[in-house]
Structure 1
Amino acid sequence: MISLKYLTSHTLVLPFRTMACARSNCNLRALGYIDALILLAAVCAGLYTCWVHTRDATIIVLVICGLLIFAFCGMLYYYFGLVDISTSFTHLWYGCLLGLIAFTNRPSDHDIPSTVTDALLLSSLIFKLFWSSVQRVCGYVTHTSCLLTSIESFELIGFAIACVISTSSMVSMWLLITAFSFTLMAVRLKALLAIPCFALFITLSAGFFFTALEVPLNPYALSCFVGRIAIDPILDIYFCGLSTMERWDCMFNRHRYIHKLILLLVYSLEISFAFLAGHVTVNHEEWYFAIPAYLLFGFLWISLHIVFAITTWTFANKLSECNRTFHSVREDSNKSLSTVMASKGVRYFAMISRCLVASAVASTLLLGGVSWQNHNADFIACLLIVLPIEALFHGVLHELGSTLGGTCTGYAVVGPSAFCRSDGSALLLPSNAMEEYSNRSIGLLNTMQRFFVYHMIDIYSCDFSTSGLALNSLESKLKNFFARRTPDGPRFDTYIMYYSGHVNPVGDWALADNDVLKFETLLEWWGDANDESGARLIIVQDCKTCGQWLKNVQRENEHCLALQSFIMSKSTDPETGVAMDNGDFTREWVDFNCSKDTDITWKEQGRKIKAIYGVSSKWSEFNFHKPTEADIEEHWQHNFPRITHSLIKILNIPSVMDLFSYCYGCFSCFRRWKMKWLPPNVVNTGHGFKLVRS
């Protein structure tokens, strides 16, 4: 009997839990229908109030059309399953009716219909805020990359249609709706200046725009319309979990001609703003003050916006280049667009360009303040259009500069197929062994080329010599490699050098004619080329011993270095070296860094090849290259017209981070000691590959 009860209870628990969960979900989702009903009641009450006060026959026509559209949308929804189309038409009409109510002349005394309408409109706004919060807390919202949702777009279009019917200032209202649309885009994409732009939009439109427009206005209906559209983007600032690349995918993943067309539209809007800013200045009452101020700040605005135009156009070209590269390699590998952009140096470009765009935003605010026109609604609307557009460009450059990885270049050297005796002299092998090790060396070069290509590392060269590496030739190659720079001018963030060959007992590279390359010599060449630029050098060695090189790297205090190598169990025949398996570590390390499905475990017991790495004391202080004042000045002089060169000093503003230099030093010291005494098993280099130890 007990077993039967046990079986019955456990058999029924799952259906009852499912039913309870479904009932809970249904109860929560019913809030969405309540929200729609409150909005419908508010719109109906508003239309009735408009009819009571105006007796306009147009309202009757709109009500009849609204009933027909709602009936048509219901038919599309329930009989044909066209949910998106029916929802779009419904919100189009909601926007139109809210616009009609918003621009209806209100009576001076608040009668009962007006009071009920205002209460329903505020209730609709409050319940929309509550329902949107519940949706996001319960995980009912799936975030995707978009500028505006279909609901927001159709409600804005409906409101614009209402402006044609209800107001005589149609163009000014359309400009304000356009400004509101761009502000919503900046908020949804989490641009750094989005919230200040939104606050400025609310302040200027409520305080100056509608006063200059001189149209009858219902603030409750207008607040309901603006609030219901703005609630979702504002809440998504916190609740949206999309990464930078995912959020901006709606703009990145476009054809280059679309990018260029958008930029041309932006430039035309900028020119229109400058024209409107100077339109009234000529006829200003105090023209002797207004005209010189406009000319002075206008020259500053034009100069900085020439820089803005060149910067945005160059960014569009870089984005198109990255998209072409990404689409060409996407089918052959699992690369992401962010990896491609990092390899193309977009991070460094973005870090410089965001300062330039920020200066353009500041010049727009200055020009708008100097040529401020209280009674010109078109000027106010154009200012509110231009600011969020520039904030969008600043936002994308700021996020790319903060999230993308740095640049990296690589050089691979494979030594000859011979072993060294203890005195450093070469030991020649039989012809069959020579052929075997030559094939193995060529395989190593192919493996390293795969590694470089997979991680989008700029390849300097992959060299292999069967007759031995000459010291003079290797010196020339390494010095040229260490002196390499990106196409934009600065040095690479990381230089990775691979060597597989033979070394003497202390770890120095064995070269032709009994020459050796010592660690001190290599470090001297690197120091001459690096010149305190902040770049780092990563050495990957596949040799039978790393000798003293690992300890030398760990003792280094002046440069940022890392050495990745391995320890192999002793061979049974050290004279012939047949069991050394030179190159096995390279294949395992590359497979670990280039394959997501690899089963390599560096900590497993009994491993024949045990990975080791060592880093210098400055490794924990390394950051990807940040542009200095000299870098910005050099970038400006090489890319912008001479007329703008005098404005470089405007950007030489001390960084806020300088105030926290002491705190940064404490954190660096902590990270340095942690790396020394508790080194992690895996170190992420920031380029997609890792240093490992067993």
Structure 2
Amino acid sequence: MLTLIHQLSGFRLLSVLCYLKRVEFAERMVRIRLADDGEVWTFSTLLVSATVIVGTLCALVPVCLKHQTSDCISATVVGFSLLIGAPVAFRLRYCFTFLIALDAWLGYALFRLCDLQPKTPLPSWLQTVQIALLYGSLIIRGVTMASDIFSRIGSSARITLGRSAPWSCFLGALLGYYSHPPNAIVLHLLWMISFLLVALAMAFKVRMAIAIFFSLVMYTAFGGGRALLAEPITIADQIAMVTVAGWLFTKPLLLLFDVCTNAVQRCMVIFKLNRWTYNILLVGNLLAVVLFGVAQTVAALRHRQRIVAFSVFAPAGILWLLLHLLYFRALWSLSCPLESPNGQPCAERKLRTYVGKCFDPVAFMTPLACIIFTASLAGINWLTHDLLSALSFGILSTIELTVVHIMHTMFKGFDNCVVLGIATPVDSQVQRADGSGHLLAAELNKFFDQRGVEIDDISYYTEGIDMLTAKQRLEHFFESPTELGRQFDTYFLYYNGLASQENGDWILTDGNLSMDELLSLWTDHRGTDRCRLFILLDADNGAHWSYRITTLKGKQAIGIQSYSVKEEANWRGVSTGSFTRLWLEFNYNIRCGDFGNTPFTPLFGQSFPGYCFVRTPRLPPYESKTILSDLFAFLYLNAMSPIEHFLMLCWGACMTYVPPAVFDTNQGVKFVTNKRIEPYY
């Protein structure tokens, strides 16, 4: 009996400890969700950067000392050039830039392996395992990037993985298998094109862009695979392949973790993965890494390279397994909604704040240092063709870094936002017993508060509002900068009330407020700061403003969401705040579809195509620091200005002729249109 009591006590103690550990881990994940960009990126980027750098050096240094060939020396140079960027990675604002440079140079090492001359044949089963793992890593990378696309575009584009992936993969496989393996420059150009296509797919929801992206991924996979099948590779190349494969395995996990956290806080989790799915992914990735390591170890042992095998594969394998374990543990906790220990649901705040609004040349000098060191040793150990290839690849990686930075400001950068709401419903509906007007103001407060939007004021005027009070409120609203200053701020203006039947002007107690008067106030206070103004009109005649805003001259970022009633019979079902409640439900809903069977047809007009959807794609301004950085910034900005203008031209043309169906403001707020707005005359 005493033994049984002792066992029960031990079991209770173990249960209590497990519960405390679970609560502690839940608290950590709650803090991660509520954290700023710095805490989230510190957890992810530094771990990946340190793991890849250590794995690269562990894999390349012993081989370089053992063989002392030009290929090993060049691979070691790449590893040490990555090590140069490590201090940059430990500065928080450069982590994203460092990861892009890291990805580019490891990709270059992978592409170099396709052109190396073989010296030692390998067994057929080992080649098959290598090709299968290479295919799997590239496919997983493509799928995770596609899931990022789907989480942004929603289901309104009617794009599904089942529709686009099979045909594009089949096309890419044919292109890759029946063509000669291209060189590093061509492959990297394909990756740059695929990145631009991904950006276009995220913006315009073009089904063909996703299909082309999958084709390029499969083309790269089968092209490199055919090169490995055609000619066996050396032991040094095997070890270099381990490093590259480790990055190919960890990069999708980083993307998946980033996508999950990003989608959770934006209420746009289009893809849902249960815990069994995470278990399958975990076991599959771990098995792939173990099989790859075993295959490489067997190859090394067959050629009596025991020292290399035990000194390289053991620490690298342990680091990769630890990395997978940490990532999937985080994904496990994100697979279901978390609750804080006190039982209150987690507030869905913004997880990230883009701080790179000022150009810092240190971030862009990292790939330049890699280029210089690699090119200097390339001139000693390589041929002239290899030297030109390295320099060309360095130039392409710098251009890619610029494009990534611009695209990052467009899609990843969360701007600061402030909102003002004015509700003046019809007099006959003010005295309703349910108090719909007050409930409407409370719902708007809750909606913007959950998205971390600063609320200037949301007022409910039961007896209307006069012209002077309205202009004073608007002036105070436009003069309210957010925490990080005025540049790139976003302003939401909500109006619910009467509007003139002739021109949609707001009907106030002592006159009408026209759109020209409102825009003049906006121009006086914010028109030159490159800020954005979004107006949500819940008024019967608000469609006039949505049409008229398309004729506005200039490059001001102004968008107006309104509605029109589909049929006369549906007027009876339209009451105070009906469109607002449907709009809130549309934004709360995970499925980003249309308004469905409702009496409203949403209309969205914008002043300048592309300016309202996302922030203008421009290189950030530069702040003077040192003489060297000033010189580099001057040369870099002047050299990249044609790319900036070219992207601006393409962006404006695409937004004019291929407008998206859903406009996402990057604050978790979406505007919708079911009808293309033509210029109103």
For the aligned pair, the TM-score class normalised by the smaller chain equals 0.3 to 0.5
TM-score w.r.t. the length of structure 2 is 0.45
Q: Select the structure of larger CA radius of gyration.
A: 1
Taking structure 1 as the reference length, the TM-score comes to 0.45
